[in-house]
Amino acid sequence: MKKILITGASGFVSSYFIEFLENNQIKSFVLGLDIFKNDYPSTYKYVNRSFRQIDLLNTQEIENIIYSFQPDYILHLASYSSVAFSWKNPVLSFQNNTNIFLNLVEAVRKLNLSTRILSIGSSEEYGNINSDHLPLYEYLSPDPINPYAVARVSQELLSKVYSQGYGIEIIMTRSFNHLGPRQRDVFVIASFAKQIAELKKQGLKEGTISTGDLSIVRDFLDVRDVVKAYYLLLTKGKNGEIYNICSGRGVSLQEIVKKLSEMSGIKITTITNPAYIRPNDNKIIIGSNEKIYNAVGWKPQLSIDQSLKDIYTYWCDIF
């Protein structure tokens, strides 16, 4: 039975990762850690699951937990993952995202464990890239242009230090934008879908939603594809390597609104909210998933249309 420690266990991705283990009948003992209470169901047939509500900045408590649990794998999902949050709280974003990772790997080092760690990074690390240089490959040097991305690059550099210098088994990702049902509406696609579902509930045929810059192009990936990639890398990825987790396709936010409008049958007008405009935002991000495919045979299965349909249905069901 695999012993897997998951940080950020109360979050969006963690719930899908555990469902992946259960649906694929992967017998596992999962210990989830998070500063926030976990409200997801805990009864599964193949996954024996427990949860501890802790602050990952508490170095001694982290060390005690890792010593007691002796994980085979650590899936490190915990972070302040919002770029917008990092612009408003740059010090908190950097210190939290960097130090909680450092606490984890230092505990593994001090306890001399053979734990494999998946360090989750971000496509934001690439920065603003000329469209002539797309898609983005892992060999490109990071050029972060927001506080969140700087923290992610720092985490990646720490991963290399502990992998190469201390011999800790760490696999790194540069994960592109993911989406799916249950994602909080602080994220862009969930926000669009929620607003349109509210219009649908009111029985409107036309309506207005609040947006940011709709010209931005992103490489969106369904969270259900993401967690499969994470499992394959956690168990089969090469130590010390970086892997893009992406679809390889770009879509503008304008096109996302159009697709949701067609699904809902509502004619949508958009109003730009200045509060949603980020300083120095990356204009276009499209990645290559060639490396992960060659390494572990992963490629995405769910289309953007299917993802949007499921997200829109999720919000409609709530209302």
Residues 6+ apart with CB under 8 A from 165: none
Q: Helix (H, G, I), strand (E, B), or coil: what is residue 143?
A: coil
Question: Residue 119 in contact with residue 154, Cβ under 8 Å?
Answer: no
Strands (DSSP E) contained in 246-300 are 251-252, 267-272
Domain locations in the chain as residue ranges: 2-178+221-245, 181-218+250-282+302-318
What are 76's strand-pairing partners? 7, 119
Tens-place pLDDT, residues 58-70: 999 999 999 999 9
Whether 299 shows a pLDDT value over 90: the answer reads yes
Whether 40 shows a pLDDT value over 70: the answer reads no
Band of residue 42 on the pLDDT scale cut at 50, 70, 90: low
Whether 41 shows a pLDDT value over 80: the answer reads no
Band of residue 43 on the pLDDT scale cut at 50, 70, 90: confident
> Residue 222: in which H helix or E strand, if any?
strand 221-222
Question: Residue 42 in contact with residue 68, Cβ under 8 Å?
Answer: no
**Distance in Å from the first CA to the final CA of the chain:** 40
Mean pLDDT confidence for 130-135: 88
What are 217's strand-pairing partners? 252, 284
d(CA 95, CA 151): 8
Whether 234 shows a pLDDT value over 90: the answer reads yes
- By mean pLDDT, which of 1-5, 37-41, 72-76, 213-217 is the weakest? 37-41
SS3 content of the chain, % helix, strand, coil (to 5): 45, 20, 35
Whether 21 shows a pLDDT value over 80: the answer reads yes
Band of residue 78 on the pLDDT scale cut at 50, 70, 90: very high
Domain 181-218+250-282+302-318: which CATH class? alpha beta
Say how far residue 95 (Cα) sits from the centre of its chain: 19
- By mean pLDDT, which of 40-49, 170-179, 222-231 is the weakest? 40-49
Domain 2-178+221-245: which CATH class? alpha beta
Tens-place pLDDT, residues 242-297: 999 999 999 999 999 999 999 999 999 999 999 888 887 888 999 999 999 999 99
Question: Residue 248 in contact with residue 288, Cβ under 8 Å?
Answer: yes
Tens-place pLDDT, residues 156-215: 999 999 999 999 999 999 999 999 999 999 999 999 999 999 999 999 999 999 999 999
Mean pLDDT confidence for 311-318: 97
Comparing CA positions, the residue from 121, 196, 130 lying closest to residue 151 is: 121
d(CA 193, CA 264): 9
Provide the whole-model pTM.
0.96
d(CA 103, CA 180): 30
Tens-place pLDDT, residues 81-122: 888 889 999 999 999 899 999 999 999 999 999 999 999 999
